[in-house]
């Protein structure tokens, strides 16, 4: 199959409709945040992204993720920095999960792919928070690291690396586990809606 035909196969009317609907769902879920630890909040907006990546492929999944982030700019409270970080960390999970699954489409491979994606997201979250999020918030709110740690208000966390390794990474491991569990439970029942007739897996 040529690259042109492969691309055309991704951007069918049916796929574009599904991408739009899943991006809309992801954008709504992006607004619902559950406080977990320190200033980290859990959202389930990447579940529709995972569903799209599994049913249509990695590229459509990334398009849905990007659309969610762009729509998020309309109500951003971080000048787009939070949306950029969310895209990077989301992609770190979506790409490994979807690539692994599409090599051999089984439930086991989907779960292994999401586990690998969760580990990637946890690692990338440390780097993104270290180099993007923490510098942004320190600049935006005129705080140094001691101010950030005070705001986090978590016992035993008294340095930047403790914050990153004891809170940021575990939080994203938890987030990935929740996203994986929910996606694993609902993907098969939703398959008839996520696939074209005659191409259900």
CATH number of 9-31+43-194: 1.10.1760.20
What are the distances in angstroms from CA 84 to CA 72, 76, 89, 149, 156? 10, 11, 9, 23, 29
Average pLDDT over residues 168-174: 98
Residue with the bigger pLDDT between 56 and 151: it is: 56
pLDDT score of 72: 95
Q: What is the mean pLDDT of residues 41-53?
A: 97
Indicate the burial class of 27 (C-beta count within 10 angstroms; 0-12, 13-18, 19 or more).
buried
Per-domain residue ranges of the chain: 9-31+43-194
Residue 8 has pLDDT above 90, yes or no: no
pTM: 0.90
Would you say residue 47 has pLDDT above 70? yes
């Amino acid at each position: 199959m040529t690259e042109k035909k492969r691309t055309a196969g991704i951007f069918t009317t049916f796929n574009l409709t599904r991408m739009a609907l899943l991006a809309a769902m992801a954008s709504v879920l992006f607004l619902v945040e559950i406080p977990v630890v320190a200033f980290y909040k859990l959202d389930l907006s990447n579940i529709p992204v995972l569903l799209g990546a599994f049913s249509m492929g990695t590229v459509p999944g990334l398009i849905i993720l990007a659309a969610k982030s762009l729509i998020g700019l309309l109500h951003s409270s971080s000048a787009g920095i939070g949306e950029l970080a969310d895209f990077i960390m989301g992609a770190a999970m979506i790409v490994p999960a979807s690539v692994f699954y599409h090599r051999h489409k089984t439930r086991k491979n989907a779960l292994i792919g999401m586990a690998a994606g969760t580990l990637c997201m946890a690692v990338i979250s440390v780097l993104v928070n270290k180099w993007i999020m923490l510098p942004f918030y320190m600049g935006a709110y005129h705080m140094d690291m001691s101010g950030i740690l005070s705001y986090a208000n978590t016992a035993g966390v008294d340095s930047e690396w403790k914050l990153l390794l004891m809170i940021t990474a575990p939080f994203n491991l938890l987030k990935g586990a929740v996203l994986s569990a929910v996606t694993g439970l609902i993907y098969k029942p939703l398959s008839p809606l996520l696939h074209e007739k005659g191409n259900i897996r």
